[in-house]
A and B are shown apart, each in its own frame.
Chain A
């Protein structure tokens, strides 16, 4: 950046800049392909024949797509039933979380009460405990209660969320006290304050949290795997994962067809609500 360079700029820097642009585009393409190719490979494999999956060099395109692979998946896995289970569990979890998270967040944000600090501390501490740590005792509890293979075993353990309480509390705290005082003067009950003032104001946060819960429950494999044994309550990821185990060897084209079925809804939702979803996840990382 010395003056000599500056003087030469019109003559010399242009090709350098061109090279820079080319390099940049190469790098861009590399990044895009790095994340795109695995998905492409899944799609293309899902319409190959078994024979086509077992040749080297592999084929990158097929003119004769085997849609039949998908019907095989539907034969082996009760896709619709499990999709229904996924919906029930996700909706159930969302409803439960609304009922537990909103009042708790409101109480932590707006009341001073004895033990509030302790309870809030416990809430935060539970964030550090992954479900993978405690699945065994929870499993034993549910089996003692005869609740293995019920939706409850999938919904109840995530019926509240420390993270959501924490986030919503922050939002509730930002609501000005005057607004609430005004409402109280109008003799508005607490319930009314929450539903008519707090929630509308916290709407972006609530939507964000709901989205995060939805994605994590929808995609979850671990919990439904350990808590259930019967296909009629298992969720779709567990069902698709079972395609891996067949006694007649691995059929990657079938596995990938199942995988496409599992991925498509998420991808569609992602491309429709890309901005909001990315914003939602960004939200988890800031603060």
Chain B
């Protein structure tokens, strides 16, 4: 509200300064001082109303028992004690962390390998990069649909191909031990092209003279990759890993479309769980407490990441 008034008064000052030229010096002084604030105000208003305020609102709601329709009942920390005492919560949290770790590891390792393979700037490699990039710009709905069909346990292509080499049907999405890994696979498949291209562009910006020096020393290729390329691109890898962590923690689409959290809750993640409590069970307070938990998890991993890994990353 305060911000809005600021904008309004700013606008008034602005128009006034144009009409009353004799007062220009005073108004222009105020205006010059106000200008940067006016310019950032719209963006800040959006962040304030749609990101910061909702966070506080969510924390506030987490102390209530509310089904959206009836009266809000203050229950203190009960949602939190319920949550921490609920084995489903720990399963969901475990699922989210497992998914995140798997996605980040596979995404990083595979895209690093693929980048090393496609690094040389040839026509074929550029075409392959484009092909690998295609899934990244298609919507998650499309990707989820396609893989849901590929992974159909009776008529899916994957199980058919496996049957050709004598492997029995896999319950890609119906076996609780497999389902989460299937979602990891989909996510890695979708993101592989993007991560690869970013890593390649980082690799190509490594100054050539470093390799020339290594070549003079007759350093084997894998060693120069290990000793030169990796350290030089580590800031990029660091950035990508962080992006992948956050992206993995907010996974929703594949869960909602492909498994709906099942079988046996094995693919239920924090975001999907919030959705369930908010929109299916109508427990707003509890859903908000879950939201706070997700925020803590995201904050935790972001912090850990900056603290521990940033020390090892090579900075120029």
Q: Which residues of A are at the interface with B, using a C-beta cutoff of 8 A?
A: 1, 27-28, 31-32, 34-39, 41-42, 45, 53-58, 99-101, 103-104, 106-108, 111, 113, 116, 119, 122-123, 126, 128-141, 156-157, 159-160, 162, 165, 190, 215, 218-222, 225-226, 237-238, 240-241, 244, 252, 255-256, 258-259, 262-263, 266-267, 270, 274, 277-278, 281-282, 284-286
Contact flags B11-41 to A (C-beta < 8 A → 1, else 0): 0000000000000000000000101111110
A132-B271, A137-B57 in contact; A108/B40 too (CB < 8 A)? yes
Q: Of B33, B43, B54, B256, which one neighbours A138 at CB under 8 angstroms? A: B54
Listed from nearest, the 8 A-B pairs whose CB atoms lie closest are A285-B198, A219-B139, A103-B39, A137-B54, A160-B46, A107-B39, A104-B43, A111-B36
Q: Please, which residues of chain A bring their CB within 8 A of the CB of B140? A: 219, 221
A104-B39, A136-B274, A282-B198 in contact; A122/B52 too (CB < 8 A)? yes
Number of A-B contacts (CB under 8 A): 246
CA distance A262 to B144 in the complex (A): 12
Q: Please, which residues of chain A bring their CB within 8 A of the CB of B163? A: 56
Tell me if B63 counts as interface (CB < 8 A to partner A): no
Tell me if B141 counts as interface (CB < 8 A to partner A): yes
CA distance A266 to B55 in the complex (A): 34
A28-B124, A41-B150, A215-B137 in contact; A286/B198 too (CB < 8 A)? yes
Q: Of A42, A104, A128, A241, which one neighbours B149 at CB under 8 angstroms? A: A42
A111-B35, A134-B58, A136-B287 in contact; A41/B139 too (CB < 8 A)? no
From B81-89, B206-214, B294-302, the one touching the partner chain is B294-302
- Using CB atoms, name the residue of chain B closest to A104: B43
CA distance A177 to B316 in the complex (A): 27
A103 touches B275 (CB 8 A): no
A35 touches B132 (CB 8 A): yes
A1-B218, A141-B57, A162-B47 in contact; A221/B42 too (CB < 8 A)? no
Tell me if B194 counts as interface (CB < 8 A to partner A): yes
- Using CB atoms, name the residue of chain B closest to A134: B54
Q: Please, which residues of chain B bring their CB within 8 A of the CB of A34? A: 132, 189
A134 touches B51 (CB 8 A): yes
B288 touches A31 (CB 8 A): no
- Using CB atoms, name the residue of chain A closest to B145: A259
Given contacts A133-B295, A134-B55, A285-B240, 12 further A-B contacts (CB under 8 A): A34-B132, A39-B146, A45-B149, A123-B43, A126-B51, A132-B274, A137-B291, A140-B61, A162-B47, A282-B197, A282-B201, A286-B205
Tell me if B128 counts as interface (CB < 8 A to partner A): yes
A160-B46, A221-B141 in contact; A35/B149 too (CB < 8 A)? no
CA distance A133 to B197 in the complex (A): 28
CA distance A129 to B56 in the complex (A): 13
CA distance A56 to B160 in the complex (A): 7
Where chain A touches its partner, the secondary structure class is: helix
Q: Please, which residues of chain B bring their CB within 8 A of the CB of A220? A: 139
From B98-106, B170-178, B246-254, the one touching the partner chain is B246-254
B132 touches A41 (CB 8 A): no
Where chain B touches its partner, the secondary structure class is: helix
Tell me if B230 counts as interface (CB < 8 A to partner A): no
CA distance A278 to B193 in the complex (A): 10
- Using CB atoms, name the residue of chain B closest to A220: B139
B291 touches A134 (CB 8 A): yes
B294 touches A133 (CB 8 A): yes
CA distance A199 to B315 in the complex (A): 32
Q: Min CB distance, B52 to chain A, in Å?
A: 7
A278 touches B40 (CB 8 A): no
A128 touches B137 (CB 8 A): no
B141 touches A103 (CB 8 A): no
In B101-153, which residues have CB < 8 Å from any A CB?
A: 114, 117, 124, 128-142, 145-147, 149-150, 152
Q: Min CB distance, A106 to chain B, in Å?
A: 6
Q: Please, which residues of chain A bring their CB within 8 A of the CB of B38? A: 103
Tell me if B263 counts as interface (CB < 8 A to partner A): no
**Can you sample 13 A-B contacts with CB below 8 Å?**
A34-B132, A38-B135, A53-B155, A107-B39, A111-B39, A122-B44, A123-B47, A136-B291, A160-B43, A221-B253, A241-B141, A263-B138, A274-B130
Q: Please, which residues of chain B bring their CB within 8 A of the CB of A100? A: 42-43, 46
CA distance A286 to B140 in the complex (A): 24
Q: Please, which residues of chain B bring their CB within 8 A of the CB of A159? A: 46, 50
- Using CB atoms, name the residue of chain A closest to B240: A285
CA distance A215 to B157 in the complex (A): 29
B139 touches A262 (CB 8 A): yes
